[in-house]
Amino acid sequence: MSTTAAGRAASKTPRRAAPKPKWNNAVDSRDEQYQLKKKAVILEAARAFGRRGAANVSLDEIAAALNVTKPALYYYFKNKQDLIYECHELTMQVGDEALQKAIESERTGYARIAAFIRIYVPALTGELGAPALLRSDSALTPSQVKRTRERRRQFDLRLRGLVEDGIRDGTILPCDSKFAVNWFMGAVASIPDWFDNQGERTGEQIAEIFVSFLARGIQRA
């Protein structure tokens, strides 16, 4: 990592609280309003589930945080299990979108992985809030588990493909792509365990630190 990038990562800047999910917003159509409010529920639930575990959070608490009644939540979700599944879907969607943006913005395997981290980590620590990264699928139905794990598998394969592309184009050292992805995505997955939105590092700074580690680990000089 360059001296400039290192300086950015090391600097301490005032932290802003993660944006709260918005319930009452002026929108152009009924469908937009429905989708906006549904996402607000998912964001609030994902953060609560990530912090305390899905089993320890009730729909009443989520409704109270949004200042709505519990019955209002059933307009968007059949039950708590359905809401948990949608939380998984949202976090995977954020990952897919970050990966696609990285692929479209860069040419080499290494540059695409670095760009992905720079996009994905701030997304997790920003709008979603790091605790929203749910790792356990034990609360899902068998069919939901199957769909969720298949989507994760496809995401993992795409990341491995970027590592293999980097090996071929000379930007990544020869390595086992599976273990390389497990290594850097394991670091990303640990963020909910220690990230403090009021701490001294922003999501962008954390991303730069991760990229510097990535450069030392797999980038070909």
User: Does the predicted TM-score (pTM) go above 0.95?
Assistant: no
Residue 106 in any domain: the answer is yes
Instruction: Tell me phi and psi for residue 172, to 5 degrees.
Output: -125, 140
Range(s) of the domain holding residue 94: 20-218
Domain count for the chain, please give it.
Answer: 1
Residue 10 in any domain: the answer is no
Which tokens belong to 39? 């996402």
Confidence check: pLDDT of 158 > 90? yes
CA 64, CA 88: separation in Å to the nearest integer?
22
CB of 124 closer than 8 Å to CB of 203: yes
CB of 78 closer than 8 Å to CB of 124: no
The alpha helices in 53-197, defined as continuous H runs, are 59-66, 70-73, 80-105, 109-123, 142-169, 177-189, 191-194
Residue 194 in any domain: the answer is yes
Instruction: Give 102's pLDDT tier (boundaries 50, 70, 90).
Output: very high
Residue 11 in any domain: the answer is no
Residue 33 in any domain: the answer is yes
Question: What is the CATH classification number for the domain harbouring 134?
Answer: 1.10.357.10
Residue 135 in any domain: the answer is yes
Residue 2 in any domain: the answer is no
Dump pLDDT digits (tens) for 76-101. Answer: 999 999 999 999 998 899 999 999 99
- Please list the residues that pair with 114 across neighbouring strands: none
Q: HSE (CB half, 13 Å, CA atoms) of 213? A: 16
Dump pLDDT digits (tens) for 38-67. Answer: 999 999 998 888 778 888 899 999 999 999
Residue 12 in any domain: the answer is no
CA 98, CA 151: separation in Å to the nearest integer?
15
Q: HSE (CB half, 13 Å, CA atoms) of 176? A: 4
**Torsion of Cα atoms, 184 then 186 then 188 then 189, to 10°:** 160
For the chain, give the mean pLDDT.
86
Q: Which residue has the tokens 């598998």?
A: 153
Q: Which residue has the tokens 């005032």?
A: 14
